[in-house]
Chain A
Amino acid sequence: MAESNPLIALAMVFGPLSLASIGGGVAILPAMQHQAVDVHQWMSPQDFVDLFAVARMSPGPGSMLATLIGWKLYGVTGAFVATVALFLPSSFLCYAATLTWDRHKGTKWHSILQEGLTPVGTGLLAAGAISLFRIADAGPASWAIAGATAGILLLRPRFPPISLLMAAGLCLGGLHLLGIDVR
């Protein structure tokens, strides 16, 4: 039976979700919870929240939550199957879309489309910054760090951003150790 094999079950859950994640991985978060907790009863609601926190604390896309669900269910093999199932279908679609996009490079309609899509991409990034501020529960310290980072990189575009990311982390982490909790 297909349903009794956890690896097939993982692929059957995350494969379709891959194509449903319109607007990014956040879109399928509620569906992931529903499938993992209610439908398949792979874990308790608290387990799910814990895994979500771990995925957010870790580097990489937040959707690595799927990796953790697979890991919880069937170890590293389960993690691998869940990750591939989540990324493969949408990646094929994206490849086809961007290939088509590139094939028509240089045509008049391509440059018009490109000129029309560019401000939409910029606006979506601005929206991303706004929702990150909200999700991170950002306060004055976060605003200051974001502003300083942007200022440094606008004045010196070749400044290594990784060092800025690390400095910001050390700054708030260090303040916490001194008993100062700011966000």
Chain B
Amino acid sequence: METLDRPDPTGQAAAPDRPVRLIDIAMLHAKLGLSAFGGGMSGLVFHEVVTRRGWMNEREFLSGLAVCQIIPGVNIGNLAIYVGQRLRGWPGSLVALSALLFGPFFVVIGAAMAYDWLRQIGAITAGLAGVTAAAIGLLLVVVIRGTSQVSRQVGSLAVIAGTAWAVGVMRWPLIPVVLVVVPCSIAMAAWRRRADG
């Protein structure tokens, strides 16, 4: 939790001293591609990229994640593009996305071939439900850390709760919700900046 204690008004920090090697980006994304089931992978990416490796800080990750989710595309694929781009430019993005998809590409085809046999095995289905539940736990970690980062800003807390409620509970379409919430949140950030300075 070190990064939480250090105020970071510019959002610039935690840039690694040396450039991250492409092979490390590839290895991480190959692992990410093969290790999460049924969604919830963003929590795992956060753990590996921010908590464990310190390749970027929480604010960089979360704001980049919002950009990735707002524009079209598979969220986890966009996140690979962002992480790769941020660390090593276009070669980083290319390597991250390719490594992310390489393993699942062959596994999913193998699974389709074995499908008739696999669906008889209830233990596999039950086990995958367990993996999904743990992946939800990883997401909760990011939500808790992101929330505690802004715990003194009532407006930001309202933005978090409002977005979660509208998209998660009410299942309103993401784009209109974001079109309302983002300008409000940015206006509050600008207002705080003016009040501070």
Does A associate with B in a complex?
yes
Interface residues of A (CB under 8 A from B): 18-25, 50-51, 53-64, 67-68, 71-72, 76, 79-80, 83, 86-87, 90-91, 93-95, 97-99, 101-102, 105-106, 108, 110-133, 135-136, 138, 141-143, 145-150, 153-154, 157-158, 161-162, 164-177, 181, 183
B-side interface residues, number (CB < 8 Å): 116
- On whether A146 and B136 interact (CB within 8 A), knowing A60-B104, A67-B108, the answer reads yes
Q: Does B137 lie within 8 Å of A147, measured CB to CB?
A: yes
Q: Does A95 lie within 8 Å of B81, measured CB to CB?
A: yes
Q: Does A123 lie within 8 Å of B167, measured CB to CB?
A: yes
Q: Does A168 lie within 8 Å of B130, measured CB to CB?
A: yes
Alpha-carbon distance between A53 and B120 when the two chains are bound, in angstroms:
13
What are 23 of the A-B contact pairs (CB < 8 Å)?
A: A53-B119, A58-B37, A61-B75, A67-B109, A87-B77, A91-B81, A95-B93, A105-B12, A116-B182, A116-B185, A117-B185, A119-B159, A120-B159, A120-B163, A127-B169, A129-B139, A132-B139, A135-B38, A138-B132, A142-B132, A150-B141, A161-B44, A165-B44
Q: Does B101 lie within 8 Å of A128, measured CB to CB?
A: no
Q: Does B161 lie within 8 Å of A123, measured CB to CB?
A: yes
Q: Does A64 lie within 8 Å of B134, measured CB to CB?
A: no
Q: Which of B68, B131, B142 has the most CB of A within 10 A?
A: B131
Q: Does A148 lie within 8 Å of B128, measured CB to CB?
A: no
Q: Is B26 an interface residue (CB 8 A)?
A: no
Interface residues of B (CB under 8 A from A): 1, 9-12, 31, 33-44, 47, 51-52, 58-69, 71-78, 81-82, 85-86, 90, 93, 97, 100-101, 103-105, 107-109, 111-112, 115, 118-119, 122-147, 149-150, 156-157, 159-164, 166-169, 171, 173-175, 178, 181-182, 185-190, 192-193
B10: chain A residues at CB < 8 Å are: 106, 111
- On whether A68 and B108 interact (CB within 8 A), knowing A24-B75, A95-B81, A125-B143, the answer reads yes
- The minimal Cβ–Cβ distance linking A38 to chain B, given in whole angstroms, is 21
Q: Does B103 lie within 8 Å of A168, measured CB to CB?
A: no
Secondary structure at the A interface, as helix, strand, loop or mixed, is helix
Secondary structure at the B interface, as helix, strand, loop or mixed, is helix
A149: chain B residues at CB < 8 Å are: 133-134, 136-138, 140-141
